Amino acid sequence: SSAGDQYDVVVVGGGPGGYVAAIKASQLGLKTACVESRGRLGGTCLNVGCIPSKALLHSSHLYEEATTHFKKHGLVINGSVDVDLGAMMSSKAKSVEGLTGGIEFLFKKYKVDYLQGFGKITGPNSVAVELNDGGDELLSTKNIMIATGSEPTPLKPCPVDNDKKKIVDSTGALDLPEIPKKLAVVGGGVIGLEMGSVWRRLGAEVTVIEYLDRILPGIDLEIGKNFLRILKKQGMKFKLSTGVVASEVKDDGVTLTVAPSKGGDESKLDFDVVLVATGRRPFTQGLGLEAMDIEMDRQGRVVVDQHFQTKIPSIYAIGDCIDGPMLAHKAEEEGIACAEHVAGFAGHVNYDVIPGVIYTHPEVATAGKTEEQLKDEGVAYKVGTFPFSANSRARCVADTEGLVKILTDKDTDRILGVHIIGANAGEMIAEGVIGMEYGASSEDIARTCHAHPTLSEAFKEACMAACMNPIHF
Ligand code: FAD
């Protein structure tokens, strides 16, 4: 690094980790550039992840409401409610475009230089950019932030070809040209269950094939079991403890060969479309990390210390390409903390309370420890639960599926975990996260006045159940 460096920070990757880091760095007075090859800012999340999936989840939810739930509210549709898939996809695209454009605007507002091109680290203080429009640019910089994100992990027996629309990954599943009659979802994780729900609501028969004997490994077991029951009731089919051995793409669909994961006879299943959603892996291809001798772990994640610093002090990494949950808000928090550290401030991420949300209906939201983790750690704990069927607001909107479950330290009453299945669980979890961030006890929340009638009263009552008694159950 020398006084003549063009930049204080060059961020490689313009996803939620990278663009947030770039804006924060610039706000803190650092001369900042962000290099993104996709042609659009926002990364996986905005272009082919969180945002388009939530758009389709909402549209398909409205359809399901109209076709199956309007009746119970006394709403009768004279005629049919039809899906115009093209229009639904356009609505999704409009949300995405508005938001990516919004980040470009923010870059201008906060004076972040945006380079459209592929970045390669050529030294501790230099990034070579192969510009999308042709030509190269060599950037000299005091610091480099790697925010190159992740990509779907391939599944050997099931090679993805998003163009053919037969075996697809999440990106292909966000853009199917028609509603499949039969859709297989390989992998019972968040992305598979969300995308499976979209297509089931729109009319597909959806079968989730999962190698383990449960969906959503790592989630609180009671919540996982409850959620599985709800999804089955909605008509989603499950083949648990089942692995995909082979696939054959034909003109009219895909034949999957499956086998019990513990061994046993193979069988064949036919589908129109197969979604492979078995996980994501860090993406650092072409970045030049090997040549720089930057350490990576066995999963291909960039190894960093608590300040997101690699072995080369001027090179940092954040988001999906390092350890931790692959979530947009985790990447954003790291982007901010890393920018603060680079600017000489104390940046910090509290990894104990990173919420995780599944945007199905009902939603599932969790933060903190699961009951199984507390058992493993030998922590003496208490459980408070409250079902939405006993919540007045859930009753008056006739949407009573789910519960709030609070886990507290048996001695101190401090909240250690919050697990919610419910219509607005993804919003409600913020209450749990704030409580845990501030070290709240369940009694703190039980004695906090919550508006009536709201779903959040179920949260309060679950806290009452943990430290005294609930009133309404
Ligand atoms: P990314 O968003 O992957 O961004 C990295 C960017 O870097 C990419 O745009 C890439 O083009 C660019 N890049 C890579 N290498 C280079 C290079 N050498 N030069 C220039 N540019 C480069 N998370 C949630 O929190 N909530 C959700 O609801 C949610 N839903 C999801 C749904 C789906 C279908 C998927 C696939 C993911 C979802 N995620 C969700 C996960 C979320 O998208 C990621 O955790 C998040 O995008 C990670 O952010 P990031 O900035 O680390 O990386």
Q: What is the pLDDT along the chain (473 residues), one digit of tens a residue?
A: 556 789 999 999 999 999 999 999 999 999 999 999 999 999 999 999 999 999 999 999 999 999 999 999 999 999 999 999 999 999 999 999 999 999 999 999 999 999 999 999 999 999 999 999 999 999 999 999 999 999 999 999 999 999 999 999 999 999 999 999 999 999 999 999 999 999 999 999 999 999 999 999 999 999 999 999 999 999 999 999 999 999 999 999 999 999 999 999 999 999 999 999 999 999 999 999 999 999 999 999 999 999 999 999 999 999 999 999 999 999 999 999 999 999 999 999 999 999 999 999 999 999 999 999 999 999 999 999 999 999 999 999 999 999 999 999 999 999 999 999 999 999 999 999 999 999 999 999 999 999 999 999 999 999 999 999 999 99
Residues with beta carbon inside 6 Å of ligand 1? 12-18, 35-38, 43-45, 49-50, 53, 118-119, 147-150, 170, 191, 283, 286-287, 319-320, 326-329, 331, 359
CA end-to-end distance (rounded Å), the chain? 65
CA of 15 to the centre of ligand 1 (A): 5
The pLDDT assigned to 4 comes to 73
Q: Provide the 8-state DSSP code for 301.
A: P
Among 92, 139, 148, 174, name the best residue to mutate to test ligand 1's pocket (greatest count of ligand atoms within 8 A of Cβ): 148
Rounded distance between C-alpha atoms, residue 462 and residue 445, angstroms: 9
Q: Which atom of ligand 1 is nearest to the CA of 44?
A: 2
CA atoms within 13 A on the CB side of 29: 4
Q: Is the dihedral of CA 315, 319, 325, 329 positive or negative?
A: positive
Residues that are catalytic: 452
Burial class of 265 by CB neighbour count within 10 A (0 to 12, 13 to 18, 19+)? exposed
- Binding positions for NAD(+) are 187-194, 210, 279
CA of 320 to the centre of ligand 1 (A): 7
For atom 23 of ligand 1, which residue has the closest CA?
Answer: 327
For atom 18 of ligand 1, which residue has the closest CA?
Answer: 119
The pLDDT assigned to 2 comes to 58
Tokens of residue 326, six digits = 């692959």
Among 50, 99, 275, name the best residue to mutate to test ligand 1's pocket (greatest count of ligand atoms within 8 A of Cβ): 50
- For 470, phi then psi, to 5°, come to -75, 160
CA of 441 to the centre of ligand 1 (A): 35
The pLDDT assigned to 453 comes to 98
CA of 257 to the centre of ligand 1 (A): 31
Q: For the chain, how many residues are written?
A: 473
CA of 438 to the centre of ligand 1 (A): 29
Q: Which atom of ligand 1 is nearest to the CA of 325?
A: 45
- For 402, phi then psi, to 5°, come to 110, 180
- Binding positions are 54, 119, 148-150, 187-194, 210, 279, 320, 326-329
Angle (CA) 72-457-404 rounded to 5° is: 80
Rounded distance between C-alpha atoms, residue 416 and residue 407, angstroms: 6
For atom 53 of ligand 1, which residue has the closest CA?
Answer: 149
Rounded distance between C-alpha atoms, residue 322 and residue 69, angstroms: 43
Alpha helices in 163-280 (DSSP H): 170-173, 190-201, 221-233
Rounded distance between C-alpha atoms, residue 297 and residue 287, angstroms: 16
Among 35, 45, 100, 358, name the best residue to mutate to test ligand 1's pocket (greatest count of ligand atoms within 8 A of Cβ): 45
Alpha helices in 74-147 (DSSP H): 85-109
For atom 46 of ligand 1, which residue has the closest CA?
Answer: 328
Cα Rg for the chain, rounded, in angstroms? 24
**Residues 197, 236 contacting (CB under 8 angstroms):** yes
Rounded distance between C-alpha atoms, residue 179 and residue 173, angstroms: 10
For atom 29 of ligand 1, which residue has the closest CA?
Answer: 50
For atom 7 of ligand 1, which residue has the closest CA?
Answer: 13
Buried b (16+ CB within 10 A) or exposed e, 122-144: ebbbbbbbeeeeeeeeebebbbb
- Binding positions for FAD are 54, 119, 148-150, 320, 326-329
The pLDDT assigned to 5 comes to 86
Q: Which atom of ligand 1 is nearest to the CA of 14?
A: 6
Q: Which atom of ligand 1 is nearest to the CA of 173?
A: 34
CA of 43 to the centre of ligand 1 (A): 5
CA of 149 to the centre of ligand 1 (A): 5
For atom 3 of ligand 1, which residue has the closest CA?
Answer: 149
